[in-house]
Amino acid sequence: MSSLAGRSIGYDVSAYQVRGVLIDLGFPLVARAVAQYLTRARPDAILITHHHEDHGGNVELAARMRIPIGASDATLESLRSPERLGLHRRIIWGNPPALRTPIVRFASDALRLVQTPGHAADHHVVWDAERETMFGGDLFLGVKVRAAHADERPRELVRSLRHAASLHPRRYFDAHRGLVRDPVSALLAKADWLEQTIDAIERRIEQGWSNRAIARAVLGREDVAYYVSRGAMSRIMLVSRVRDESA
């Protein structure tokens, strides 16, 4: 799924249906297409990896259709009172309506929600142990992701990446990157790179460097995400998140 604005900067997101269960729900700007899909495909239930608007943005619509929904308490809490989004997120994904309709809760042994905080405090992956398949939501996204947003906890993300790798997924589906080849190596490569990056940032924090100087030295120049998000998704934010997490 993508919006016109999203396509112009290469942003899209996927939902996956497996064992009759739809994993994630897309974003508000594609609500109509999602409603048509739900009517046609009739999933038995929906699992939501985390509260971000490109994953849980159509939860109210699904609740009104009385489709059972599985998500953590924290995710449901956030979906019931959505944060105010920055302009770039409203343009790329749209503003999600709050979840107001009471839901039928869903949980499954075959498709387990596994806590993997870091990208967001309520982030989970969906783990199909029997088929050794993981639906990773926004856990991976790529090895060297140099930009972060204000809710990220980089050290926690490293631990979650190692935990996901320890389950030994043979197949891995990323919400923004599709099928990830050799997922255990990819998850560990990201954990290693991020850990080394955090260490390099922390060394400079101890030496009294400013966030801007550290971002420039360790992560390089800001790219399009910085300008599109007006700094909300940026390299300097990753440095700032490391500083806050280590304080």
Please report, as ranges, the residues that interact with Zn ion according to CB under 5 A.
Answer: 52, 138
Rounded to the nearest whole angstrom, what is the least distance from the CB of residue 207 to Zn ion in the complex? 33
Rounded to the nearest whole angstrom, what is the least distance from the CB of residue 137 to Zn ion in the complex? 7
Beta carbon nearer to Zn ion, 123 or 235:
123
Rounded to the nearest whole angstrom, what is the least distance from the CB of residue 68 to Zn ion in the complex? 23
- Tokens describing residue 206: 């101890």
Neighbouring residues of 53: CB distance < 8 A, sequence distance ≥ 6: 27, 28, 82, 85, 89, 93, 94, 95, 96
Beta carbon nearer to Zn ion, 52 or 153:
52
Beta carbon nearer to Zn ion, 136 or 214:
136
Rounded to the nearest whole angstrom, what is the least distance from the CB of residue 175 to Zn ion in the complex? 8
How far is the CA of 39 from the CAs of 85, 118, 146, 187, 242, in angstroms? 29, 34, 39, 35, 44
Rounded to the nearest whole angstrom, what is the least distance from the CB of residue 118 to Zn ion in the complex? 11
Residue nearest to Zn ion (CB): 52
Beta carbon nearer to Zn ion, 60 or 138:
138
CA 38 to chain centre: 22
CB–CB of 125/48 below 8 Å?
Answer: no
SS3 state at 218: helix
Beta carbon nearer to Zn ion, 138 or 174:
138
Helices within 145-218 (DSSP H only)? 154-166, 183-206, 211-214
